[in-house]
Amino acid sequence: MDEPTENKLCGVSTKAVVLDKEGRLLTLFRTETAPVRPNTWDLPGGDLDYGEEPEKGIVREVKEETGLDVTDVKIFDASARIDHEGVHWLTLAYKCLAINGNVKLSDEHNDYKWVTPEEFLKLESGPKLMRYVQAIKNSN
């Protein structure tokens, strides 16, 4: 019989492929003290606040992590996993367009660059992020 699921935690996280007018995407470099995948390239995103609509959550996270405002926000992927602490996470991936180009990083990242999807796929990053960027590349 399966393990009981009552009193288990479930969370929702978001990631964004933020594109500029030239079709390049914004990638952020995680600090060496990042709790997950330190010193690797990342995409903006984070956890939803309680009661927050997912689309509003990703817009907020992009603004908090990059200082950018975004438009044309569209979901293109959803996946689930159970982490090492037993929390069941649903991750929603969005594609969006940067309105302004003045990046201002939060303390979660210490570098950024605008790259083509092909360039991103050559960087050190996580497999899920690679899958997201490959999906964007294939859709163009």
CATH of domain 10-139: 3.90.79.10
Three-state secondary structure call for residue 126: coil
Contact 88, 11 (CB under 8 A): yes
Q: What pLDDT shows up at residue 140?
A: 75
For residues 48 and 62, give the distance between their C-alpha atoms in angstroms, rounded to a whole number: 12
Average pLDDT in the chain: 94
For residues 111 and 41, give the distance between their C-alpha atoms in angstroms, rounded to a whole number: 9
pTM (2 d.p.):
0.91
Q: What pLDDT shows up at residue 58?
A: 99
Mean pLDDT across 101-130: 96
